Amino acid sequence: MNRNRNIHKILGWILLIPIILFSISGIVLNHQNTFNSIDLNRNLLPSKYSFDEWKNNYWRSNIQLGTDSLITFGKEGIFISTDNFKTFQDFNEGLPSSVGLRRTEEIAVAPTGGLFAATYGGLYHRKRNADSWQKVNLPINKRCLSVFIAGDSIYALTKYKLFKANINDQALQFEQVPLNTANLSNDMSWYRVTKKIHSGDLIGLPGILIMDLVAVVLIFIIVRSLLMTFNRKNKKKKYGRNLKKHYTLALRFSFLILVIAVTGMFLKAPLSTPLKKRAISKSSIDFRHKFSRAAYDPAVNKIFIFSRSRVFSFQPNNPMLIEEKNTPPVSGMGIQVVKLSSPGKILVASTKGIYLWHTTKNQIEPRTTKPLRANGYLVDNQGNEYVSNYYKGISAIAHTNTFGKYTDHHTSNRVSLVDFSREIHSGRIFTDLFGSYFILIIGLLFTTAHLTGYVIIRKKNVKHLINQFKK
């Protein structure tokens, strides 16, 4: 009994700060649209998160505008370069001031010369020769991940839905494209199922709110235990009451707390690896495909939609989704860049590499001799290619031209609360101190602390336990 109590107490002290951080960050990640507009000082992050040499996924991609202008975009919004990526001027006027909302994933050029930007704050339009961006209303106020033009229509892609409007309509009245998924298999990896269990999203909003409540309970339990430690000697009766509440609350939420601990461990390597290789078929649960990018290829008159695990296509006049079989490798993190290189050729970049997809021949052509981990892809006016890597920054592909230097005026020195929370919840922020298995270690310690607490409660009832602690 004493050994279990000592283990429980020691582990409680060790896990005090990590559990509070994981609980708060988990709540934020469960409600990203609510917290995405909140920014924090980037100096709160370790130095490895600086944008030096364009690291940390600064650039996503670019488009060419005219003969000498390159519109580049990424995590800090939109910039323009007129000297082949040597210098960059701010092009964010009209976009949200929050870096969490002006993060830009794609830009499309309209036939009139205007620009459309898919940002985390929604869809934005900048007319030709205009001085600022203007918000375009979509039926849902969600982050926009992709924007492209097919014929006289403009399409905007969100995580789960595709919207369409007539590009010649000044008001741009978007309506949802009724994608027909009847012909699709709805298998889902056990990894994604585990992630949905961990967040509560497996049963939708009620599940998310339940897991939020568990996170609040965890904070309450661990903070109360801290206060109990300091008040034990002076206020024994109050200590006994607090101890009863501590164990009663932990017992009531025991199962859900254990679920969060175990599923959290299986979302990071090494335990996540086998889950990603096995799939579960759809039952009565809505396993919606999570979209990441889309593009239109006039050579085959198809719109291609890329999800986290597959590639789908449909013709503009028939929204029946068909799963493409022979496609470029799809990363579990999603496709980062999709560009129509020319009719019949789509460039696809992800952490699995950079590929040119010949859609008319259904052939895949690697763009490099060995796969490069691509978090972004850029090409200058002369056709020189660059790959953006999260850890290494910008690198040239098969040429010696230099890319412009990063300077402090390229950043607002802010980080969105959502991105900050993601680094905490994934454990990446702690890897320099504790290694890549930090989540696994914390998960095992937390499970041990939880189980020893459960054993203490079950071996002796709460009333006798309180009396013993008072002695």
**Angle (nearest 5°) at CA 366 between 362 and 368:** 165
262 and 163 both lie in a single domain: no
Number of structural domains (the chain) is 2
CA dihedral 291, 309, 304, 100 (to 10 degrees): 30
Q: What are phi and psi of 11, to 5 degrees?
A: -65, -35
**Does 178 fall in a domain?**
yes
Which token pair is 53? 């040499």
111 and 161 both lie in a single domain: yes
164 and 304 both lie in a single domain: yes
- Count Cβ atoms below 10 Å from residue 433 Cβ, excluding itself: 8
Q: What are phi and psi of 163, to 5 degrees?
A: -120, 155
**Does 131 fall in a domain?**
yes
Burial 297-318 (b: 16+ CB within 10 A, else e): beebebbbbbbbbbbbbbeeee
**Does 114 fall in a domain?**
yes
The three-class DSSP label of residue 7 is helix
Q: What is the DSSP letter of 402?
A: P
Which token pair is 59? 């650039």
**Does 72 fall in a domain?**
yes
179 and 64 both lie in a single domain: yes
CATH code where residue 106 lies: 2.130.10.10
- 69 and 81 Cβ atoms separated by less than 8 Å: yes
**Does 421 fall in a domain?**
no
User: Which of the residues in the chain have pLDDT under 70?
Assistant: 1, 186, 229-242, 281-289, 459-471
358 and 380 both lie in a single domain: yes
357 and 243 both lie in a single domain: no
**Does 431 fall in a domain?**
no
pLDDT tens sequence across 124-181 = 999 988 999 999 999 988 899 999 999 999 999 998 899 999 998 888 999 999 998 8
65 and 19 both lie in a single domain: no
153 and 217 both lie in a single domain: no
325 and 263 both lie in a single domain: no
Indicate the residue type of 201.
Answer: D
pTM of the entire predicted model: 0.87
Q: What are phi and psi of 132, to 5 degrees?
A: -155, 165
274 and 309 both lie in a single domain: no
Q: What is the pLDDT of residue 239?
A: 60
Interhelix angle 190-199/205-231, nearest 10 degrees: 60
- 348 and 307 Cβ atoms separated by less than 8 Å: no
Q: Are strands 175-176 and 115-119 parallel, antiparallel or unpaired?
A: unpaired
**Does 411 fall in a domain?**
no
- 108 and 154 Cβ atoms separated by less than 8 Å: yes
305 and 451 both lie in a single domain: no
Instruction: Look at residues 386, 405, 424 and tell me which one is the last residue of a structural domain.
Output: 405
Which token pair is 13? 């002290």
Nearest-CA neighbor of 165 among 132, 128, 136? 136
Q: What is the pLDDT of residue 283?
A: 46
53 and 166 both lie in a single domain: yes
**Does 122 fall in a domain?**
yes
Q: Are strands 104-109 and 115-119 parallel, antiparallel or unpaired?
A: antiparallel
Domain range for 216: 2-36+198-279+436-470
